[in-house]
Structure 1
């Protein structure tokens, strides 16, 4: 009886109004693939998708027109390496964030940082570990997807996986257990168990640390073995997940490449040979130039030449990767520096010698392809999700234009202005 009454009552309720189609009319469109922008193009959006792109489109009655004079319309940018549960290290050191900030506090901050990311024009983020906040990124991802809070589409790595004894925080009595920034494993059985557990808990991507420093003041050294990483890769790929690997050392990179991972993060000690091997295997490289730059500035560097050794090494590795034709993603390790300033990585890449159109392609269709999202994101094309951003000026000439966001659309809904 109750079901019949509910149905009868529902028949008399007004149906929710369908959003009218929207015609976006910018000065030009960067489509995410062609290095040259298309002058005079328009984009028609109906529901959550792009339905037509080109000059002088025919539009249905009732279409709402949004004029964007002087603006470039482009795909929503994709942040390739972020940590929404971290905030800049010059505010609170990493150890203190992990050890002393309550989970509720970290989650509340992450909600605000997700909003800042979206309003900056980054409509998708690959979040590579909560750094001690457990599986809170799964909840944040789902809250965004359900429209409870605003933010980018999220691809999450949950806890990340490290070799036992290699990660932090450190500096405590050896017999005392302290909260850690990642899940520890030792051996193939344990890494397989951890990868499966994280996937079961909601991980979209498995994050591994191929190397790290065991004690403070020590250099990074390989930690996970090639066999351990290969076992985790097999589990992740069987489950349809990609594998991202923190690898700073040449040996850590070599093992990760041999294990068949999907992306390598940082790669400071990469060699021409290693980057050619990544090219040959289609492994994408996220250089995270901005993280090293930010940390150097926190330590007193004024940004002028000569750059500190670590910054110079990162730039040299990035240039070797470009020369080798290695697929390059845009990922700044945001959280080391402020969320919402994600464009900093794109500016760093351009300053290091990458042409602005190539940077834009990497941040849109490139990242979408590397993260297995290319069938629905990263391009201004009919049939794709309407994740779109308009910026003042021409970012194919001046990459800094991506900071001047005047419109953000996610899934056909305008979220800015």
Structure 2
């Protein structure tokens, strides 16, 4: 059950969000359509929407007499973008450090901010988001997901991971008197039975996806090392898969990645120490890689880097891993760890993927049909095709040439409803 203060806050937001409604079919007439799967845009295509779904796509469509026509001259229409790695209950670390957010910001405050950040995400053209952990905000993401689904507040469709699961003693905040219980940013577990119990507790609370930390540092200043054993990761993954939940794993070390691959997880996040062999193994097992380039880039800038060369080691390492994954043919997830940097600027990750060598159209595919496939949403989202939900966006530029065009989004439609 959603705690009363949060429930009251979400209901109060209804007064500020009278969600738009539609009754008539809508015919969208852009200059071109990027359908989410074909790298080449389709010139002169149109899209007919009725209710919440796309009912026809192609040139010279005949719309019903009562259809509303939206002309988008010179613009590109494409599927709503899918953010693959976000934290709506965090805000940029240069505003407030992570420890302070977890320990000192009230849950109602964090929820209010998450509501605003969900709206910013949607209006930026990201109509779906995989939110990979509330970082100390408990199960509040489940309530936010429900509030969005019920039209109480605006935001993207959410897949939530609730608390995430970490090895006992291996997360944070830290630095307090030994023996004093300090609230943690994730759920601690130990042993195969313990991690299976944690997985099931999170599923019972409403988790759509299970997030595990395969590695982390035990004390400040220590190197990151593998935390969960191979057996623990395998047991947690099996329990999640038995319940129909995919598994996302934070892994920055080669050993953590190797254990996650052996466990058969669905996505690996970060992967800084990835090797050609590890990325080939991921490809062979259809495990997607979510590089989160924008997180390291943002943190480096908070520490004084101005974006010029030479880049800090943390930035170079993540770019190196991404390029190795591309060379290996590893499936790529688009997700930037947004929350480390500002929500609504999600396209920052896409720009960095392009700058690191991924073709713009392939970046777009990763952010649409690619993420839909990795997140088991292909029967509903990720492409412009008859029968799918009408999550659509338009931009005055041509993002198949430069994804920076998506910095300007002129139209956002979610489930057939124009929200921008």
Structure 1 and Structure 2 fold alike (TM over 0.5): yes
Structure 1 residues 222-246: Cα deviation after superposition (integer angstroms, max 9, x where no partner): 0011111111111111111100000
Are 2:115 and 1:111 aligned?
Answer: yes
Paired residue secondary structure (2:207): coil
Tell me which residue corresponds to 1:259: 263
Tell me which residue corresponds to 1:145: 149
In the alignment, the residues of structure 2 paired with residue 305 and residue 173 of structure 1 have an alpha-carbon distance, to the nearest angstrom, of 41
Residue of 394, 397, 407 corresponding to 1:393: 397
Are 2:52 and 1:51 aligned?
Answer: no
Are 2:214 and 1:210 aligned?
Answer: yes
Tell me which residue corresponds to 1:280: 284
Runs of 4+ in 1 over 4 A off after TM superposition: none
Residue of 284, 297, 300 corresponding to 1:296: 300
Aligned residues: 400
Structure 1 residues 31-65: Cα deviation after superposition (integer angstroms, max 9, x where no partner): 00000000000000000000000000011110000
Query: What is the CA-CA distance between 1:18 and the residue it aligns to?
Result: 6.6
In the alignment, the residues of structure 2 paired with residue 60 and residue 304 of structure 1 have an alpha-carbon distance, to the nearest angstrom, of 54
Structure with greater Cα Rg: 1
Tell me which residue corresponds to 2:364: 360
Residue of 236, 247, 253 corresponding to 2:240: 236
Residue of 317, 333, 337 corresponding to 2:337: 333
Query: What is the CA-CA distance between 1:398 and the residue it aligns to?
Result: 1.1
8 Å contact kept, 2:395–2:410: yes
Paired residue secondary structure (2:142): helix
Are 2:130 and 1:126 aligned?
Answer: yes
Paired residue secondary structure (1:99): helix
Tell me which residue corresponds to 1:9: none
What are the within-5 Å matches in structure 2 for residues 307-346 of structure 1?
Answer: 307-346=311-350
Paired residue secondary structure (2:343): coil
8 Å contact kept, 2:79–2:392: yes
Tell me which residue corresponds to 1:180: 184
In the alignment, the residues of structure 2 paired with residue 344 and residue 18 of structure 1 have an alpha-carbon distance, to the nearest angstrom, of 32
In the alignment, the residues of structure 1 paired with residue 34 and residue 392 of structure 2 have an alpha-carbon distance, to the nearest angstrom, of 10
Tell me which residue corresponds to 2:15: none
Paired residue secondary structure (1:317): helix
Taking structure 2 as the reference length, the TM-score comes to: 0.95
Taking structure 1 as the reference length, the TM-score comes to: 0.95
Residue of 186, 194, 198 corresponding to 1:194: 198
In the alignment, the residues of structure 1 paired with residue 221 and residue 378 of structure 2 have an alpha-carbon distance, to the nearest angstrom, of 41
Structure 1 residues 259-302: Cα deviation after superposition (integer angstroms, max 9, x where no partner): 00000000000000000000000000000000000000000001
Tell me which residue corresponds to 2:18: none
Query: What is the CA-CA distance between 1:218 and the residue it aligns to?
Result: 1.1
Structure 1 residues 89-137: Cα deviation after superposition (integer angstroms, max 9, x where no partner): 0000000000000000000000000000000000000000000000000
Give the gaps of 5 or more residues in structure 1: 1-16
Tell me which residue corresponds to 1:381: 385
In the alignment, the residues of structure 1 paired with residue 124 and residue 181 of structure 2 have an alpha-carbon distance, to the nearest angstrom, of 39
Structure 1 residues 186-241: Cα deviation after superposition (integer angstroms, max 9, x where no partner): 10111000000000000000000000000101111000111111111111111111
In the alignment, the residues of structure 1 paired with residue 189 and residue 37 of structure 2 have an alpha-carbon distance, to the nearest angstrom, of 41
8 Å contact kept, 2:122–2:156: yes
Are 2:40 and 1:36 aligned?
Answer: yes
Are 2:172 and 1:168 aligned?
Answer: yes
Could you say what the CA RMSD is over the residues aligned between the two structures, in angstroms? 0.7
Paired residue secondary structure (1:141): helix
In the alignment, the residues of structure 2 paired with residue 117 and residue 390 of structure 1 have an alpha-carbon distance, to the nearest angstrom, of 15
